[in-house]
Structure 1
């Protein structure tokens, strides 16, 4: 199993050292995400300070851009990184697309599918495989002149991963993407009952096989060296799960375990801004079912129990209480043959 993580950067200047540290620790990949800073610039800097680690966006917000813009970014990052780039795309949610980015939100699954296909059509043109003649429901790309054509990428086009949660967006990954980034608000049961069937449906549509798609599971890890730190890590994780659990889109995970009533209570409290009370509704059972919780020397085995037979790669995450040593010991155990 390949081991990734997403590096939360409060200061983009830290990209010079953070990704190099992840490479030295043995991570197979280091990803950025789009929050306070642009997700591509940090990776461009990181590519100059690393040699082997895979670099990707998990995720860049597709609907805040257009296929041509994303094709250029993906091409350039693939070149700068020496063929180590992964273009990871996600949707964000309607209010942010419309009110923060002043962009269009509609038919998210169909739009994401078309974005991926349009990017590939642009890259095929640059690779000399076809003329640019893409006409879709949302995007049209039908002109490309030598002045704007960078030609074939010396490392080939990068893979495209898409993130998602619901059945339609998950199916899109199976149909058109090279990889799928699974949301951390999942359990082994929800991955088996909800995620894999949707991916298989998409693979069947495109007549592809499971080996054609990398499944990367972002997994919330709760561990620490002392009882005090463990308690703080658990509390931070419960706050994060309370936020996710209050969101109707994430109800299917809770439904797999008969926790629909918890969702209704969380949702009601969220509308009243009663965040501390929400955290109290997340039981230890819920925490240990959704997150991987344990002593440091237990985590690698528990990750295998959670993801074996499902995922090709794991992305270790706990953004609200990050491990100060980037889970170096856990990575080492996961990398043991």
Structure 2
């Protein structure tokens, strides 16, 4: 199972330094999200700061850019990284698309299928000058004058629901899990939907918090669990783990005015233990081993919700140290 990492930085300079440290430690891929920064800009920073690791978006929002724009950015990032780029796409949720970005939310599974098809058609044919036909794309009189590293850039899809998960297994080069994904959930709910085939990459994401005092490690991760538990969309996920009542407590606190980053105090230890890799270094190693045979790679990330920047830095340093020990 390959060790990959989602570096963190309060500044882009710190993000670059974190990426170099993770590469030196042995991380096989470095992933960047899209929420507080543009995933594409962050990926460009990582491409310039590293020389060996793959650089991936986990994830870039699929519907807030046109497929052509996404394809152009992917080609540029693949050139910038020397053929190391992985395009990870996700749909996001309705509120994020409609209220934050002003784009329509309609049949996301079908739209994701069409988006991936259009990106692949464009990256494969943009150098020829021939017409490009794809769902939602009709291009005439266009020829990219620059060389490309690859005509086909790997596309991974993030998915939580069963329909999008099945689509990832059907058309994607890989699947990326939600930040909370236990071995049991991966085994019993996700893999049966993926129809994993040779060469298909299963990437499980895990919030990781390491400290000599397990209680300190859990406390750091509790805020991230609370952040996601406040979203009712994930009710089925929490119910699968027998955490429906615990999620309801978090949602109630959120509805009574607590901020999404201020919910750690209503997250019980059981939630953190089931859904994150938190504890001493030895305990985290044991939890990592539970994913063997289920995932091709694990994406470790430090907690970033409900904690200070300094606490995230400490957590990041411990994860990179662990990657170095294991790699």
Instruction: Please give the TM-score of this superposition, normalised by the length of structure 1.
Output: 0.86
Aligned to 1:68: 68
- Confirm or deny that 1:334 pairs with 2:321: no
8 Å CA contact retained: 2:4, 2:297:
yes
* Corresponding pairs, count: 318
Pick aligned residue for 2:274 from 277, 285, 289? 289
SS state at 2:222 partner: helix
Sort the Cα spacing of 1:328 and 1:242 in 2 relative to 1 into closer, same or farther, 3 A: closer
SS state at 1:285 partner: helix
Task: Give 1:130 deviation, angstroms.
Answer: 7.4
- Confirm or deny that 1:318 pairs with 2:310: no
Aligned to 2:236: 252
8 Å CA contact retained: 1:238, 1:282:
yes
Cα deviation digits, residues 262-320 of structure 1 (max 9, x gap): 23332232211246995444322222111123311332232012x11110000112232
In angstroms, what is the RMSD of aligned CA positions?
2.4
231-240 vs 209-218, which moves further: 231-240
In 1: Cα distance, 2:37 partner to 2:274 partner? 32
Task: Give 1:174 deviation, angstroms.
Answer: 0.8
Query: Counterparts of 1:58-207 in structure 2 under 5 Å?
Result: 58-126=58-126, 131-134=131-134, 136=135, 140-146=136-142, 148-150=143-145, 153-200=148-195
Task: Give 1:141 deviation, angstroms.
Answer: 1.1
Mark the runs of 5 or more structure 2 residues left unpaired by the alignment.
Answer: 305-310
Cα deviation digits, residues 116-142 of structure 1 (max 9, x gap): 1111111222365974111x3xxx211
In 2: Cα distance, 1:64 partner to 1:212 partner? 29
8 Å CA contact retained: 1:217, 1:313:
yes
Sort the Cα spacing of 1:149 and 1:317 in 2 relative to 1 into closer, same or farther, 3 A: same
Sort the Cα spacing of 1:144 and 1:13 in 2 relative to 1 into closer, same or farther, 3 A: farther
Sort the Cα spacing of 1:188 and 1:324 in 2 relative to 1 into closer, same or farther, 3 A: closer
In 2: Cα distance, 1:174 partner to 1:77 partner? 25
Task: Give 1:112 deviation, angstroms.
Answer: 1.5
Task: Give 1:172 deviation, angstroms.
Answer: 1.7
Sort the Cα spacing of 1:156 and 1:333 in 2 relative to 1 into closer, same or farther, 3 A: farther
In 1: Cα distance, 2:101 partner to 2:317 partner? 35
Mark the runs of 5 or more structure 1 residues left unpaired by the alignment.
Answer: 201-208
In 2: Cα distance, 1:332 partner to 1:14 partner? 19
- Confirm or deny that 1:261 pairs with 2:245: yes
Sort the Cα spacing of 1:294 and 1:36 in 2 relative to 1 into closer, same or farther, 3 A: closer
Cα deviation digits, residues 75-118 of structure 1 (max 9, x gap): 11111111100111112222222222222221222212211111
Aligned to 2:198: 211
In 1: Cα distance, 2:151 partner to 2:237 partner? 37
8 Å CA contact retained: 2:54, 2:85:
yes
Sort the Cα spacing of 1:33 and 1:25 in 2 relative to 1 into closer, same or farther, 3 A: same
8 Å CA contact retained: 2:179, 2:206:
yes
SS state at 2:139 partner: coil
Aligned to 2:285: 300
In 1: Cα distance, 2:130 partner to 2:121 partner? 8
Task: Give 1:70 deviation, angstroms.
Answer: 0.5
8 Å CA contact retained: 1:269, 1:277:
no
